[in-house]
């Protein structure tokens, strides 16, 4: 297969001030109202969409019953005045008073998914929000095909749109915004690629090798610990989880140095999770290929911070293991010693993510960061509490709320959750410092956060993101999200890093 580092991840993006004669499809935005659909924006590109052309487009849209509802699609013939355009795709934006960047992103994604087999698309959505339109088209066009043979490889008319040109009013406008949007979308696509690569091909050593390749290509500092180094260093959590697999664990640290302020990122890298001896049901277990989505996100975000030259230092500490049942696997009732000395009684081997994260959090804390963010597909309880599209955000209250707010502004929907003190007592062990689960199923997402809090250094602003559902879409495609890896929460992480850098 093609390595993650070598893939062409999305369509070519460019700004343009005009519509070329070889344009296959012009994508326009349409809002809804009681008076019928309206073309948006209504005050830009009048040299392209003249009053006459707009009127003809609206007549045609009315004839096909277009309403302008969010993400509604209507494809119509191009009016005569649009020389060189084969057809027009009108994508709904919903009510104008509710229109925001995320809706533009979603509508652009829907349009991109509808335009497979198209060579060149020009869009006016850039007049509403160029960055959102660019991200939406890029991510909506994403596909993952390295494992398809010639028998099932996409035919020419099934391949993603090749090039998207975003209309701007004059030369030079939008170049900086487009550059950032493309770099961000590429980072999200990189995380998606990692998540979508099957565990047969992305086991701990291979995952670490690919991350190392990407980081070194970006000029970043890399430290890679194999199983011998992990044992010598006392990483009992990572070793305990990984000991049941024939493919030993790894821990990788990737550092970007851009300024004095320090941010630590930690990501759960379970390349496949059977549950270990506390084995999961067979149904849907294949989705556990996504249990390294937190690791993928923090690696991609660290690379993106470097590409954006953010004026801060970012270090990703990423533990990687495969959680398997075998004669060598850890058992319920075992006690392991985490990195740093805390002992943990393993009550449930399927609560393994918190064990490897605890090691990594303590190690990351030795760098004395100002902020620490960990990301994990940690608990099924996250989906029970918040559904499959809303990450739970826990941590120190001020920073937790800040991260959750930023997550919502970029369309990744983070929601602040508490760490109730009464649940902490339920993590007591009869023989060790801590148990890895409570003896009940109440507040499982919160209990996992409380477990991790035991390993976070004092006086560090900390946020824990549980993305068990949002990181992997098992349902139908929506907006700019296809099936499989979503890349959540890469955009949240980079927006938080930018916010810290701007302090």
Helix (H, G, I), strand (E, B) or coil at 144: coil
The neighbour count for residue 172, using CB atoms within 10 Å, is: 9
Phi, psi values for residue 305, rounded to 5°: -60, -40
Q: For 184, which DSSP code?
A: H
Query: Is residue 257 a contact partner of residue 279, using CB atoms and an 8 Å limit?
Result: no
What's the rounded Cα separation, in Å, for the pair 18 and 424? 61
Residue of 158, 93, 154 whose CA lies nearest to 123? 93
* Residues contacting 480, CB < 8 A, separation 6+: 105, 106, 108, 109, 110, 112, 135, 136, 139, 140
> Left if phi > 0, otherwise alpha if psi is -120 to 50, otherwise beta: which for 375?
beta
Q: For 489, which DSSP code?
A: T
Q: Estimate to the nearest angstrom the gap between the alpha carbon of 368 and the chain centroid.
A: 26
Residue of 67, 72, 23, 66 whose CA lies nearest to 48? 23
What's the rounded Cα separation, in Å, for the pair 162 and 117? 8
Q: For 154, which DSSP code?
A: P
Structure tokens at 164: 């998207």
| Torsion angle of the four alpha carbons 70, 469, 289, 108, in this order, in degrees rounded to the nearest 10 | 20
* Residues contacting 11, CB < 8 A, separation 6+: 112, 137, 138, 141, 160, 161, 162, 163, 164
Does residue 228 have an active-site annotation? no
What's the rounded Cα separation, in Å, for the pair 405 and 66? 34
* Residues contacting 51, CB < 8 A, separation 6+: none
What's the rounded Cα separation, in Å, for the pair 488 and 468? 10
What's the rounded Cα separation, in Å, for the pair 256 and 494? 13
Bridge partners, residue 263, by sequence: 314, 371
Does residue 250 have an active-site annotation? no
Residue of 100, 191, 183, 62 whose CA lies nearest to 479? 100
From the candidates 354, 363, 402, 491, give the one annotated as an active-site residue.
354
Helix (H) / strand (E) element for 415: namely strand 415-416
From the candidates 67, 280, 389, 424, give the one annotated as an active-site residue.
280
Active site (catalytic) residues: 280, 354
């Amino acid at each position: 297969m093609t390595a993650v580092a070598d893939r062409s991840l999305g369509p070519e993006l460019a700004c343009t001030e005009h519509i070329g004669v070889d344009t296959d499809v012009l994508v326009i935005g349409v809002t809804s109202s009681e008076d019928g659909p309206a073309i948006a924006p209504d005050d830009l590109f009048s040299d392209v969409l003249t009053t006459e052309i707009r009127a003809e487009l609206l007549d045609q849209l009315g004839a096909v019953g277009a309403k302008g509802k969010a993400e509604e699609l209507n494809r119509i013939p191009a009016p005569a005045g649009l020389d060189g355009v084969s057809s027009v795709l009108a994508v709904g934006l919903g009510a104008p008073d509710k229109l925001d960047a995320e809706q533009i992103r979603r509508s652009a994604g829907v349009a991109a998914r509808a335009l497979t087999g198209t060579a060149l698309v020009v869009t006016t959505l850039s007049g509403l929000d160029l960055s959102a339109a660019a991200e939406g088209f890029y991510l909506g066009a994403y596909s993952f095909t390295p494992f398809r043979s010639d028998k099932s490889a996409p035919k020419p008319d099934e391949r993603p749109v090749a090039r998207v040109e975003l209309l701007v009013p004059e030369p030079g406008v939008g170049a900086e915004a487009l550059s950032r949007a493309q770099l961000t979308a590429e980072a999200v696509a990189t995380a998606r690629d990692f998540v979508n690569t099957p565990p047969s091909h992305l086991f701990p050593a291979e995952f670490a090798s690919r991350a190392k390749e990407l980081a070194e290509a970006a000029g970043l500092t890399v430290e890679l610990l194999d199983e011998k180094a992990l044992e010598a260093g006392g990483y009992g959590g990572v070793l305990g989880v990984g000991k049941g697999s024939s493919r030993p664990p790894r821990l990788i640290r990737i550092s970007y140095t851009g300024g004095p302020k320090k941010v630590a990122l930690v990501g759960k890298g379970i390349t496949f999770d059977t549950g270990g001896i506390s084995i999961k049901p067979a149904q849907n277990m294949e989705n556990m290929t996504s249990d390294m989505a937190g690791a993928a996100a923090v690696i991609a975000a660290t690379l993106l911070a470097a590409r954006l030259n953010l004026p801060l230092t970012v270090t990703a500490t990423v533990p990687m293991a495969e959680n398997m049942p075998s004669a060598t696997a850890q058992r319920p009732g075992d006690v392991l010693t985490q990195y740093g000395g805390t002992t943990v009684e393993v009550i449930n081997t399927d609560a393994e993510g918190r064990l490897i994260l605890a090691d990594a959090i303590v190690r990351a804390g030795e760098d004395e960061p100002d902020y620490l963010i960990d990301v994990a597909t940690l608990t099924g309880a996250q989906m029970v509490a918040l559904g499959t599209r809303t990450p739970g955000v826990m941590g120190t209250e001020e920073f937790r709320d800040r991260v959750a707010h930023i997550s919502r502004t970029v369309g990744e929907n983070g929601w602040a959750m508490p760490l109730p003190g009464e649940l902490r007592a339920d993590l007591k062990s009869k023989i060790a410092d801590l148990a890895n689960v409570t003896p009940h199923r109440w507040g499982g997402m919160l209990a996992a956060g409380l477990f991790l809090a035991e390993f976070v250094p004092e006086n560090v602003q900390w946020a824990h993101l549980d993305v068990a559902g949002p990181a992997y879409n098992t349902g139908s495609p929506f907006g700019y999200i296809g099936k499989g890896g979503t890349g959540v929460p890469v955009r949240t992480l980079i927006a938080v890093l930018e916010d810290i850098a701007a302090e």
